[in-house]
Amino acid sequence: MERTRLIGILHAERSRLGRSVQYADPKTWDSPNPCEGWTNRDLMSHLAAQDTAAAQVLGGDPAAELDAFREANDGDLWVDGFNGWAIGVRADLPTRQILGDWGRAADLLCERAAELPAEEWSTRRVPWLAGEIGVRYLVQSRIVEWWLHGEDLREGTGQEPNPQHWPVHLVCDMGIRMLPYALGQAGLSYPGASVQIDLSGMGEGSWHRGLSPRGSPPDDKKPDAWIEGRALAFALVAGRRVPAETYLDDGSLVIGGDEGVAANVLRHIRAYVE
């Protein structure tokens, strides 16, 4: 996606999540969130930690909390461990402070993304949770997190869902880009195989993606498997919010070609690193 459009979407998502925070009933911050084992307050602690780290690495600074976690764990970093640790270190902070810390981190992230020179957009890489990541994909990953967790927050605080085209599209896109990684994490390998994904409605788009690392299918290659359906359903599957079987059963998603490959794509796709 073109740089200025992606940065514009980043700013829009920050504002939208900020409104969800603003409209949340204060009594709900200690209520359970759809993210298992978390309260709504925990969710915002998680975002405050990750967005602070993202803003730091975009600005060329050390990610202080990531480094502190590694130091406390013999140099290791795993996402679930860091998330639990980041929530724990904020356990005694006032909720208002956690929300303010997230807002300031998100604002700084937006500023630093906008300040990145255009010539670095497609070439610069920064350290992140699972290794180095291109800055444009780090920006996209924050949009993905803000939309998915924004919907979690809205549900956890009794607000109506608020899906929008571009964040839904970018969640689908990130999940599709990460397919080789996600399948590899599940111990699956499909060398030379590809999948065609055509999605309609809010978030719509069309992708032909290779299923092996760094493997782009030739333009004239026939896909081995295909998936069609509603983009919002696909995004919720990629975001690990709804099992693929739910949408396969009701017809919101349809698979064909090598159905075993297509089913495994939907079963293991994820739009973020776990």
Dist CA 22 CA 40 (whole Å): 13
On whether the pTM is more than 0.85, the answer is yes
Q: Which domains occur in the chain, in start order? A: 3-136 (1.20.120.450), 170-268 (3.30.1050.10)
For 114, phi and psi rounded to 5 degrees?
-70, -30
Strand partners, 188: none
pLDDT above 90 for 1: no
Output the average pLDDT for the chain: 96
What mean pLDDT do residues 256-261 have?
97
Angstrom distance (rounded) from CA 109 to CA 51? 7
3-state secondary structure of 175: helix
| One-letter amino acid for residue 106 of the chain | A
Overall average pLDDT of the 95-111 stretch: 98
Is residue 211 a contact partner of residue 193, using CB atoms and an 8 Å limit? yes
Q: CA 223 to CA 261: how far, in whole Å?
A: 11
For residues 157 and 252, the answer to whether their CB atoms sit within 8 Å is no
Q: State both tokens at 44.
A: 């915002």
Question: For the purposes of burial, counting CB atoms within 10 Å of the CB of 234, is it exposed (0-12), middle (13-18) or buried (19 or more)?
Answer: buried
pLDDT bin (cut points 50, 70, 90) of residue 204 is very high
Distance CA 77, CA 88 (A): 16
Kindly tell me if the per-residue pLDDT of 219 is higher than 90: no
Question: By percentage, how much of the chain surpasses pLDDT 90?
Answer: 94
Q: Which regions of the chain does DSSP assign to beta strands (E)?
A: 125-128, 131-134, 194-200, 205-210, 225-230, 253-257
Each residue of 120-157: pLDDT tens digit?
999 999 999 988 999 999 999 999 999 999 999 999 99
